[in-house]
Structure 1
Amino acid sequence: MDNIFIDLSAIVIAIAFSYGIFWYKKHKTEIDKKRDEGDALAFSVNMLGKLATMFAYDLKDSSEKGVAKKKEVANKIKVTFADAKLPVPSDAAISGAIEKAVTAMKLADSEEKSDTNAKNG
């Protein structure tokens, strides 16, 4: 009687394992596609800060004012992601990255001015 339960449990385990492998092979392309999309999104988020900083510095000395500069930087970021065929982050993420880049730029400028004043003073 014990051998029957052992044999039956071995058969159930083998069937469950086989079904797991079958399901994975059937859905492998979907799983790989979602993983690749996730990798592309992570890359986009990583690049967002770098692009925001670069474009903010590019427009630093332009004649446009704050809101217009921010819209221009956001537009350049969206165009860059579209050209690279990467997922475009949300408007809120882009806005946050631009704000962070501008804050870092202003902080760097104020430190540079204080260093120059210390050397001259």
Structure 2
Amino acid sequence: MNSIFIDVSAVIVALAVSYFVFWYQKHKIEIDKKRAKGDALAFVVDTLGQVATNVVYDLKDSSEQGAEKKKQAKVKIKNFYADAHLPAPSDDQLSGAIEKAVAIMKLSNEGGKNE
């Protein structure tokens, strides 16, 4: 009786593993695409601060002020990500990165004046 139970269990486990392997092979391309999108999104988040800093410094001497300059920065950042074929960050992420970049730029400018 125990050997029958062990044999049936082994067959069930083998079927389950076989089904998983079959399912994975069938969906591998889709899984790889989702993984690539996730990697791209992580890259976007990692580079957002650097891109925002570059754009803020580029617009530093622009004639626009305040909200108009921020809007122009958002457009430039979105265009950068579109040109790189990467997913664009959300507007909240863009706003936060721009505000942080502006704060850092102001601090670095103040630090240079005090020396």
Deviations 1:15-69 (A, max 9, x none): 1111111111111111100000001111111221111100101111222111111
Note the C-alpha offset of 1:79: 0.8
What is the distance in 1 between the residues matched to 2:75 and 2:47?
15
Question: Residue 110 of structure 1: CA displacement?
Answer: 1.0
Cα RMSD after superposing both structures: 0.9
**Aligned residue number for residue 102 of structure 1:** 102
Rg larger in structure: 1
Secondary structure of the corresponding residue to residue 86 of structure 1: coil
Report the TM-score when normalising by structure 1. 0.91
Residue identity in the other structure for 2:108:
A
Which segments of 5 or more consecutive residues in structure 1 lack a partner in the other structure? 116-121
Query: Which runs of 4 or more aligned residues in structure 1 lie more than 4 Å from their structure 2 counterparts after TM superposition?
Result: none
Deviations 1:63-105 (A, max 9, x none): 2111111111111001111111110111111111000000111
Correspondence for 2:24: 24
Query: In structure 1, what is the Cα distance between the partners aligned to 2:51 and 2:5?
Result: 63
- Residue number in structure 2 paired with 1:56: 56
